Amino acid sequence: MVIRYGIMARPNTIAEAVGDAILAEQQGFDLLGVSDSQSVYRELYVTLSACAGATSRLLLAPAVTNPVTRHPAVAASAIASVADLAGGRTIFGIGSGNNAVLNLSERPAGLAGLRDYITAVRDLLATGKAVYRGRELAMSWSGFNVPIYMSAEGPKTLELAGEIADGVIVNPGLQPELIHDVLRSIRTGAERVGRDIAEIDIWMIVRVNVCDDAAAGVAAITMELASNAHHVFRFTTDGKRLPDGLVDAVRRVQAGYVPAQHEHIGGANAVLLRREPELLGYLAERFAVVGPPEACAAKLRAAAGAGIGNFLFTGFVADRPALMRALGERVVPLVAGT
């Protein structure tokens, strides 16, 4: 298995995201994902365009946008424009909606709405015509083959991804039984429409911090783990293997989560999760790769052995360049070398 690696850019500034893109390409990463949250970060498609101009090989993606804040014709035009700039080095990452939606006091899209939205975007990109919510849409320029990747977590969303998506971005946790559950759900959806799961490109989000002191490393990304507690279990805990004894703690984190400080280092959400030390420890073990290079590589190898071939790292630490170099130079070679 050839393992591919991606890195998430958090565009606090466009220059910061472009710096991440340039360094990611230099370090041999395959994918740069850019967050879409108009209330917290710089504009997604402006940032992607700047990253396209600064790179020549890296695959670029919204990771991920949503159906609520952008009309499908607007999204299709935007991602096609980035694909035009990047020479086709583009995928379209889409989910039901999280932080971007919550900061507008809107509700995430349901499965039916997500299906209709993806169908409309795909049709517009391919033919310039689509039907959405019973209305005809048109785009005068088309003919773009931009793969559509769904962000999916619950069993029903994963099955939908297996039915209609070119790829899936998953976030179940790193343990083999969690990965097997996810792959089973994707396979169920794929087989329902006569597809082979081997046709679907699957990426797993990994919270990461390469460091000598694992405890300090977890402390530095506590806000990311708070985001996991808030997002992964938001609609339901069914089928997600969350221990019963931690359900109340997750609900407390969800109730107190501050969308306006999503992924902010040392912000209110990190403070919130530190009040739940048992939950913090569980989330770190489940979702994070933290510690010295050898320990990080071992955890990634185990996930790869369970069937995951692509890893999308976050690691929103203060010194991002140092983390990206550590991953590219000290962790990835250990994974690939076994």
Q: What is the CA radius of gyration of the chain?
A: 19
Number of neighbours of residue 185 by Cβ within 10 angstroms: 25
For the chain, what is the HEC assignment? CCCEEEEEECCCCHHHHHHHHHHHHHCCCCEEEECCCCCCCCCHHHHHHHHHHHCCCCEEEECCECCCCCCHHHHHHHHHHHHHHHCCCECEEECCCCHHHHCCCCCCCCHHHHHHHHHHHHHHHHHCEEEECCEEEECCCCCCCCCEEEEECCHHHHHHHHHHCCEEEECCCCCHHHHHHHHHHHHHHHHHCCCCHHHCEEEEEEEEEECCCHHHHHHHCHHHHHHHHHHHCCCCCCCCCCCHHHHHHHHHHHHHCCHHHCCCCCCHHHHHHHCCHHHHHHHHHHHEEEECHHHHHHHHHHHHHCCCCEEEECCCCCCHHHHHHHHHHHHHHHHHCC
Q: Where are the domains of the chain?
A: 4-206+291-336
* Cα 91 from Cα 241, distance rounded (Å): 30
Q: What pLDDT score was predicted for residue 5? A: 98
Tell me the two tokens of residue 11. Answer: 């565009």
Tell me the two tokens of residue 178. Answer: 């969690």
Q: Which is it for strands 4-9 and 310-313: parallel, antiparallel or unpaired?
A: parallel
Determine the angle formed by the axes of helices 155-164 and 176-192, rounding to 10 degrees.
50
Q: What pLDDT score was predicted for residue 326? A: 98
- CA-CA-CA-CA torsion sign (166, 67, 19, 212): negative
User: For the stretch 260-274, what's the b/e string if a residue is b when 16 or more beta carbons lie within 10 angstroms of its beta carbon?
Assistant: ebbbbeebebbebbe
* Cα 322 from Cα 52, distance rounded (Å): 23
Nearest to 218 by CA among 325, 322, 320, 291: 291
Q: How remote is the C-alpha of 52 from its chain's centroid?
A: 19
Q: What pLDDT score was predicted for residue 266? A: 87
Q: What pLDDT score was predicted for residue 337? A: 64
Q: How remote is the C-alpha of 336 from its chain's centroid?
A: 23
Widest CA span of the chain, in angstroms? Answer: 57
**What is the dotted CATH code of the domain comprising 4-206+291-336?**
3.20.20.30
Q: Are 156 and 141 in contact (CB under 8 A)?
A: no
Q: Is 81 exposed, middle or buried (0-12, 13-18, 19+ CB in 10 A)?
A: middle
Nearest to 11 by CA among 250, 235, 218, 38: 38
In the numeric block, the tokens 């076994």 are attached to 338
pLDDT in tens, the chain (338 residues): 789 999 999 899 999 999 999 999 999 999 999 999 999 999 999 999 999 999 999 999 999 999 999 999 999 999 999 999 999 999 999 999 988 999 999 999 999 999 999 999 999 999 999 999 999 999 999 999 999 999 999 999 999 999 999 999 999 999 999 999 999 999 999 999 999 999 999 999 999 999 999 999 999 999 999 999 999 998 889 889 999 999 999 999 999 999 999 999 989 999 999 999 999 999 999 999 999 999 999 999 999 999 999 999 999 999 999 999 999 999 999 998 64
Q: What pLDDT score was predicted for residue 49? A: 98
